[in-house]
């Protein structure tokens, strides 16, 4: 009985954390973050496959609204860090910090917003 109560208490306490376990971009889209992301996109070599301004080449466009998988922060983060086995997209976790990965993602989002802004 005591064990049951303890387990229940634990489950209730853990519920909010479990519901909020999706990985989300912790950075705010400040100009310096966006600039750092743009720089990293070039220095890490993404440009070779995803093209100028990430508008696509061998790899897909990363600034439009067409994605191969649902474009959650978590999916994009994991794809950049771990790559996709069986494709040319390799993982970059050894080449940059998690914060740098988020900087690139912040820049990609900003490029997407710029494309949508009325000209
Ligand atoms: C050698 C070529 C290559 C390089 C370098 C490369 N990618 Fe990719 N990337 C690809 C390919 C090809 C895919 C599509 C994989 C698939 O078929 O699922 C992809 C997929 C992705 C996706 C998922 C797109 C979607 O629609 O789901 C993201 C995000 C991404 N790459 C980001 C990056 C970033 C950021 C870098 C640099 C750190 C990078 N890639 C470097 C080839 C590359």
Tens of pLDDT, residue by residue over 40-57, are: 999 999 999 999 999 999
Phi/psi-derived region of residue 72, left when phi > 0, alpha when psi is between -120 and 50, beta in every other case: beta
Average pLDDT over residues 12-26: 71
Task: Name the token pair of 43.
Answer: 């220095």
Average pLDDT over residues 77-88: 98
Q: Are 49 and 59 in contact (CB under 8 A)?
A: yes
Q: Whose CA is nearest to atom 32 of ligand 1?
A: 80
In order of their start, the domains of the chain are: 23-116 (1.10.760.10)
Asked if pLDDT for residue 9 goes beyond 70, the answer is: no
Ligand 1 pocket test: which of 59, 94, 110 has the largest number of ligand atoms within 8 Å of its C-beta? 59
Average pLDDT over residues 75-83: 98
DSSP-assigned letters across all residues of 22-45: S----S---HHHHHHHHHHHHHTT
Task: Name the token pair of 90.
Answer: 């390799």
Asked if pLDDT for residue 30 goes beyond 80, the answer is: yes
Q: Are 92 and 23 in contact (CB under 8 A)?
A: no
Per-residue pLDDT of 84-108, as tens digits, reads: 999 999 999 999 999 999 999 999 9
pLDDT of residue 28: 97
Q: Are 27 and 106 in contact (CB under 8 A)?
A: yes
């Amino acid at each position: 009985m005591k064990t049951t109560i303890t387990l229940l208490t634990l489950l209730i306490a853990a519920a909010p954390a479990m519901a909020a376990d999706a990985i989300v971009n912790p950075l705010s889209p400040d100009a310096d973050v966006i600039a750092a992301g743009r720089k990293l996109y070039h220095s890490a070599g993404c440009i070779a496959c995803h093209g100028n301004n990430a508008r696509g080449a061998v790899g897909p466009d990363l600034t439009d609204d067409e994605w191969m998988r649902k474009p959650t922060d978590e999916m994009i983060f994991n794809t950049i860090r771990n790559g996709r086995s069986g494709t040319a997209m390799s993982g970059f976790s050894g080449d940059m910090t998690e914060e740098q990965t988020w900087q690139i993602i912040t820049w990609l989002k900003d490029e997407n917003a710029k494309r949508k802004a009325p000209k």
